[in-house]
Amino acid sequence: MKDKNTPKIVAYLKPHCGWSRGVRAVMAKYNLEFEDRDIWNDIHQRVEMIQKSGQELSPCVEIDGHMLADVSGEEVEVWMLQKGIVKPTVAATEVPTDRGCSDEEHAAQRGEIPVQFKG
């Protein structure tokens, strides 16, 4: 049974994205349960995110009905701390919470092989 003080969190994320990994890392840091909605492989989840957030950029995180649109994990963490949803902790995250993917990660997601020039 869910505690009445436990926030309901729905995160609209991509499977392989620096921003999405940052949001997941923040949820893990505070041991928060959340629904991880895959907007990359499920068009219905993407449409729902756009309808709820009013825009197409991700990640979007809905916490107890409040939508945080186009946010980093760091921004989600700051918002939850300000609202008293979580308490400050010295725990660290395994990945950065404030950045997207590198060019190499983007290329890998698209199935491209980066071109390397020899000098």
Enumerate the β-bridge partners of residue 83.
Answer: none
Q: What angle do CA 105, 28, 1 make, to 5 degrees?
A: 135
pLDDT tens by residue, 21-80: 999 999 999 999 999 999 999 999 999 999 999 999 999 999 999 999 999 999 999 999
Enumerate the β-bridge partners of residue 37.
Answer: 12
CATH number of this structure's domain 9-109 = 3.40.30.10
Enumerate the β-bridge partners of residue 67.
Answer: 62
Look up the pTM and report it.
Answer: 0.83
Domain boundaries, the chain: 9-109
